[in-house]
Amino acid sequence: MKNNSFNRAVLAAGPALLALSGIAQAQPGDLDDKVNQIFSSSTGWFVNLIFAPFPGTTFPWIVAWLVIGATVFTLYFGFVQFRAVGHAIALVKGDYSDPDDAGEVSHFQALATALSGTVGLGNIAGVAVAVGIGGPGATFWMILAGLMGMASKFTECTLGVKYRNEYEDGRVSGGPMYYLTKGFAERGLPGGKVLAVMFSVFCILGALGGGNMFQANQAHQQISGIVGDYPGWITGLVFAAVVFAVIVGGIKSIARVTEKVVPFMGILYVGAALIILAVNYNHIGWAFGQIFEGAFTGLGVAGGFVGALIQGFKRAAFSNEAGVGSAAIAHSAVRTKEPITEGFVSLLEPFIDTVVICTMTALVIIITGQLVAGPDGNYLLNEAGTMIQTVDGNSGVSLTSAAFGSAISWFPYVLALAVVLFAFSTMISWSYYGLKAWTFLFGEGETTELVFKVIFCVFVVIGAAANLGPVIDFSDAAIFAMAVVNIIGLYFLMPIVKRELNSYVSRLKSGEIRKFA
Amino acid sequence: MSDLYVVAYDDSPASQKALDFAIERARPTGASLLIAHVLEWSPYSFLTPTELEERHKRRTEEMDRAKTALLDPVVVATRKKGIEVEAVIRYGNVADTLIDIAEKKNANQIILGRTGAAGVAARVFGSVASSLAQASPVACTIVP
């Protein structure tokens, strides 16, 4: 009797298994293609709107928007990013922290968490995209954008702490949606609520795009580059399952492991880059020459020096998120009586992220000779004329991987692990940013939060299955849309930051604010 | 002014022994005790965004729990034995924080138990007892 039912079950399961294996064989290419097609056709209009060039030029208005914003903040606060660095480091070290506040969120912790959200693929893949399309000159504009972006970050993170919500149960939550509503109300300005809602919508899209799909996509490219090609949705499902376990299942141990490994990977990455630079020290001068020359002539890249500039600024903004508003969410949990102190601390973020780590990547790609130049010194373009020819036709993260691999043969394996971990930690951070925007719109509650978290996991799969092109376009567009709203808000609220800055600096000088250590 | 002994206390049997030892010494000398409970904490650790959000809440909960479940009963029990006693909860590196407390309160002695671990980890990273033996600014009694 027992045997019989077992046999029947096997017989019934047989065809089902056959059908499943059939689907698995027919699916891969089709499914990926379909996802890709639907994705690019449904997001194209949004991308076109954000990256629309000024009439009669090829210069996207959004790039000008970010540059002007960063310049205004830099001038308005009198180059605070250069004046306050020493004080920022003292704050991170804890020199000004009240010992009675031990056990609360420290400046270091807020900075480290915000950094683990920004340091990631932007530094590895994004820079490769910038240098691949814009040439070495893009690096110059990227560094400049990073230095200026420090002022944007300073402004938004000060406001993030100042206008955060502190709930009765002791939780805190802050970010542009709160300073836009509360700050505008305080100054008696209309429209704060509208901006906050717009910001939240874009933040959710940004979380799903740059904070999720781009990460999943590049993680898949890395893994398949090592184990051989296989369908993206498989990586997507695995990643989605792990992300689900952390953000829905609350399995903190996974998150904790990545939080510890990610900084280590960051140091390892910079260390490897420094070794490669040290070995090729005689080329460093030449590489900087290429960077400066390319910055103003383009060295033959598509779009000339404007092309280099656009790429540099775009990738810097995407990597350090200055002016985007996302970091204000992460920084706002710090324990401090002075919101401005977190502003000082946060301005280190674009420096570490862009000026140090991104520049390392760019230098390694340039120095290891990944970009193919013609006899006249100008770079050769690929057949489509869209980017510079590379040694093996690599682009994105595989270009960085090839550059490191040409000097340290086993490094691509470490890099693959780093990319996967960076991708994962960025996803965790952005799932939180997205969730904060989501709860701002729809209210807090377990069910509403769960809905967002499930959507987030679904997009992990879509991101891994889609092609890089449409994903990167959409990711950029969503994140820049956040910057549009956020920077408008910052213009109106910057006098408040100035007041905080002046008051703090005078109290620091008079000795009212003293070191504890 | 009478003497003050700082007693490191968690809920381990070792720290209970240290407290008993301290009470024995305090009785004849008329010294008062300061029971210190230090929660291990580094401001340079890494937290997820959700942990940042909940940190203040968790800290409040941890301090409440330590006070009601751990310190209050011990303080009451010690007072019953006729010893003058206060309690303090702090966050930080255990050894550093004990030293800090002893210095600020002008204590005469730090008294603590030891876990007796002598494995590789204890040798490499040291223990609270061995750190204090090295660095304590006042007399330090390690109760076996």
How remote is the C-alpha of A17 from its chain's centroid? 42
Q: How far apart are CA B23 and CA B26, in angstroms?
A: 5
- For A213-272, the pLDDT digits (tens) are 888 888 888 888 788 888 888 889 999 999 888 888 877 777 777 777 778 888 889 999
Angle at A407 between CA A404 and CA A408, to 5 degrees: 75
- Residue A246: alpha-carbon gap to chain centroid: 20
**pLDDT given at position A162:** 94
The architecture of the domain spanning A27-51+59-510 is Up-down Bundle (1.20)
Give me the total of CB pairs closer than 8 Å, taking one residue from chain A and one from chain B: 87
Q: Please tell me the predicted confidence (pLDDT) of residue A154.
A: 95
Would you give the DSSP letter of residue A211? I
A113 to chain B: which residues are within 8 Å by CB?
A: 46-49, 52
Q: Which amino acid is at B134?
A: Q
What is the per-residue pLDDT for A250?
74
pLDDT range class, residue A24, cuts 50, 70, 90? very low
Task: Give residue limits of the domains in chain A.
Answer: 27-51+59-510
Tokens at residue A95, please? Answer: 């020199």
Residues of B in contact with A171 (CB under 8 A): 53-54, 56-57
Q: What is the pLDDT of residue A76?
A: 95
Mean pLDDT across B14-40: 88
CA B60 vs CA A110, A182, B49, B64, B127: distances in Å: 19, 27, 18, 6, 27
What are the domain boundaries of chain B?
Answer: 4-143
Q: Is B85 helix (H, G, I), strand (E, B) or coil?
A: strand
Please give the C-alpha separations between residue A326 and each of A174, A259, A432, A433, in angstroms, as whole numbers: 10, 18, 10, 7
Q: What pLDDT is attached to residue A276?
A: 93
pLDDT of res. A197: 95
B104 near A CB under 8 A:
no
Tell me phi and psi for residue A281, to 5 degrees: -60, -30
Res A176: pLDDT: 95
Residues on chain B touching A116 (C-beta within 8 angstroms): 46
Residue A11: per-residue pLDDT: 41
Q: Are B92 and B38 in contact (CB under 8 A)?
A: yes
Say if residue A19's pLDDT is above 80. no
For residues B71-93, average pLDDT? 89
Residue to mutate among A92, A107, A108, A109, with most B CBs inside 10 A, is A109
pLDDT in tens, A45-101: 888 888 888 887 777 888 888 889 999 999 999 999 899 999 999 999 888 888 888
Q: Do A105 and B92 touch (CB under 8 A)?
A: no
**Would the pLDDT of B42 be above 80?**
yes
Task: Please enumerate in sequence order all residues whose Cβ is within 8 A of that of A57, keeping only pairs 6 or more positions apart, or say none.
Answer: none
For residue A104, the chain B residues in CB contact (below 8 A) are: 55-56, 59
CA dihedral A410, A413, A415, A421 (to 10 degrees): -150
Per-residue pLDDT band for A316 (boundaries 50, 70, 90) equals confident
Burial letters A172-187, b for 16+ CB under 10 A, else e: bbbbbbbbbbbbbeee
Q: Where do we find the tokens 């340290």?
A: A408
Q: Which residues of A touch B (CB under 8 A)?
A: 94, 97, 99, 102-106, 108-110, 112-113, 116-117, 169-173, 252, 255-256, 259-260, 262-263, 329-330, 333-335, 428-429, 432-433
Quick check: B80 contacting A, CB < 8 Å? no
Q: How many CB atoms lie within 10 A of CB A408?
A: 14
Choose from A111-115, A320-324, A383-387, A490-494 the range with maximum mean pLDDT: A490-494
DSSP code per residue over A398-465: HHHHHHHHHHSTTHHHHHHHHHHHHHHHHHHHHHHHHHHHHHHHH-S-HHHHHHHHHHHHHHHHHHHH
Mean pLDDT of chain B: 85
DSSP alpha helix (H) spans, A77-175: 80-83, 85-93, 107-118, 121, 127-134, 137-162
ipTM above 0.90, yes or no: no
Protein fold of B4-143: Rossmann fold (3.40.50)
Rounded Cα–Cα distance for residues A234 and A138 (Å): 35
Of A97, A169, A333, the CB nearest to B43: A97
Measure B27 CA to nearest chain A CA, in Å: 31
Residues of chain A with Cβ-Cβ distance to B90 below 8 Å are: 102
A104, A113, A335 member nearest B48 (Cβ): A113
Question: Which of helix, strand or coil describes residue B47?
Answer: coil
- What pLDDT is attached to residue B118? 58
Q: CB-based burial of residue A282 (10 Å sphere; 0-12 exposed, 13-18 middle, 19+ buried)?
A: exposed
CB contact under 8 A, B49 and A110: no
